[in-house]
Amino acid sequence: MAAITYKKASCVYEGADSLAVDSLDLDIADGEFVVLVGPSGSGKSTALRMLAGLEDIDGGAIEIGGKNMVGVPSKDRDIAMVFQNYALYPNKTVGENMGFALKMRGVSLDERTRKVAEAAKILDLTEYLDRKPGKLSGGQRQRVAMGRAIVREPQVFCMDEPLSNLDAKLRVQTRTQIAALQRRLGTTTVYVTHDQVEAMTMGDRVAVLRGGKLQQFASPTDLYDNPVNAFVAGFIGSPAMNLMTVPIGSGGVQIGDTLLPLERDALTALASANLDAVTVGLRPEQLGIDHAEGFAAKVDLIEELGSESYVYAHLDDPKVKGLDGGPVALVARSAVRAPARIGESVSLTKLDGPVHLFHPETGERI
Ligand SMILES: Nc1ncnc2c1ncn2[C@@H]1O[C@H](COP(=O)(O)OP(=O)(O)OP(=O)(O)O)[C@@H](O)[C@H]1O
Ligand SMILES: [Mg+2]
């Protein structure tokens, strides 16, 4: 086990005109489970591969257990990797697959058998040890790949979208198993996913990347409650935060006929930034559907999930704009079934919770 530090670590691919990973700074504690999340192409896999020694570190450094890894070959980094395509040897049994790295290392048969049995027990694979991978389900194969990593007892686990070949239900199951397993083993883990729900549910802390640059590195709840910019605000949370550019009125922001009051600190910050409009963020659970009070909107679509419903509506006020400059589409989350009808005019009320404010040009939190 070991702490990991990215120190202004950069990677540029040959012929590319921008950095795939740009001066990444991350301090990962010993035993921590850290998730790298971001849209496609944001540099997650590259950042992980730099740690594993599969990509060069073109600038800065990465340290494992206080030792600089620049120039250290992958095999000497004491890392075990689990990838999306966890190729297992088809002609070896589950047990042989799991023990293969140890065999290569010259570990005795007795010790190998003991370690594989231990890992199989943790992963609920004991009864499959003599089977070939071809006769396993996707989830079981995924667990064999995990087992192969566990038996090596590495300092660090690197995982790149290990669950993306599984169906939705199995993915949810396996993600809790991996998180629980990691807690039990206490091995420092860096886990890559593009799925923000996976990131939020698994990570002790989550690093949000965009265009190779770190946006925010914080606990899941902190990311949700205090996003540093409009990108993180819109990326974390499902359905996404409602973001709109709203004219500033006296004492608050003006949406249709309704003044959404703001706290004094926020008003002072807006005044000193000299803005006449601001990007306002409201989570779907902060919008109540009322038929009397609130800002006028028209319902476009309702999704019933059984336990709750999502109401998609658009605002009537042309002075309030979406981030793309177009009309504002909003989503409200309601605990009530069928809280409105499609085509109906409703009033959206702001419920408890913070009003997030972002600079309309830079997107930075105000
Ligand atoms: N081998 C390569 N050669 C050149 N450019 C690459 C290579 N691999 C990745 N890139 C580029 O580097 C950037 C980061 O890619 P990376 O694979 O790290 O993204 P990612 O966040 O893992 O995306 P995804 O979610 O799609 O897997 C992208 O712009 C990508 O096109
Ligand atoms: Mg990737």
How far is 292 from 347, CA to CA, in rounded Å? Answer: 6
- Does the domain formed by 4-231 have CATH 3.90.1150.200? no
With beta carbons less than 8 A apart as the criterion, state whether 329 and 274 touch.
Answer: no
Nearest CA to ligand 1 atom 26: 40
Look at residue 138 in the predicted model and tell me its pLDDT.
84
From first to last of its 366 residues, what are the pLDDT tens digits of the chain? 799 999 999 999 999 999 999 999 999 999 999 999 999 999 999 999 999 999 999 999 999 999 999 999 999 999 999 988 778 999 999 999 999 999 999 999 999 999 999 889 888 899 999 999 999 988 889 889 989 999 999 999 999 998 887 888 888 888 888 898 899 889 999 999 999 999 999 999 999 999 999 999 999 999 999 999 999 999 999 999 999 999 998 899 999 888 899 999 999 999 898 899 999 999 999 999 876 778 899 999 999 999 999 999 999 888 999 988 888 999 999 988 888 899 999 999 998 888 999 999 999 999
Give the model confidence (pLDDT) of 70-87 as tens digits: 999 999 999 999 988 778
**Ligand 1 atom, smallest distance to 39 CA:** 25
Answer whether 42 contacts ligand 1 (Cβ < 6 A). yes
Q: Please indicate whether residue 41, judged by its CB atom, sits closer than 6 Å to ligand 1.
A: yes
Amino acid at 97: N
Closest ligand to Cα 38: 1
Closest ligand to C-alpha of residue 14 is 1
Cα gap 96→335, rounded to integer Å: 50
Task: Report how far ligand 2's centroid is from the alpha carbon of 44 (Å).
Answer: 6
Q: Is the CB–ligand 1 distance for residue 11 below 6 Å? A: no
Minimum-distance ligand 1 atom for the alpha carbon of 212: 14
Please tell me the CATH superfamily of domain 239-358, with its number.
Nucleic acid-binding proteins (2.40.50.140)
Ligand 1, atom 18, lies closest to the CA of 43
Question: Quick one: which of 95, 126, 97 has its CA closest to 113?
Answer: 95
CA distance to 52, 69, 185, 260, per residue, from 153 (Å): 15, 19, 9, 55
| Pocket test residue of 18, 35, 37, 42 for ligand 1, highest count of atoms within 8 A of CB | 42
* E-only strand ranges, 65-187: 67-68, 79-83, 156-160
Ligand 1 pocket member 307 (CB < 6 A): no
324-352: pLDDT as tens digits = 888 899 999 998 888 889 999 999 999 88
This prediction has a pTM of: 0.93
* Cβ 163 vs Cβ 83: under 8 Å: no
Domain ranges across the chain: 4-231, 239-358
- Summarize pLDDT for 36-47 with one digit per residue, the tens: 999 999 999 999
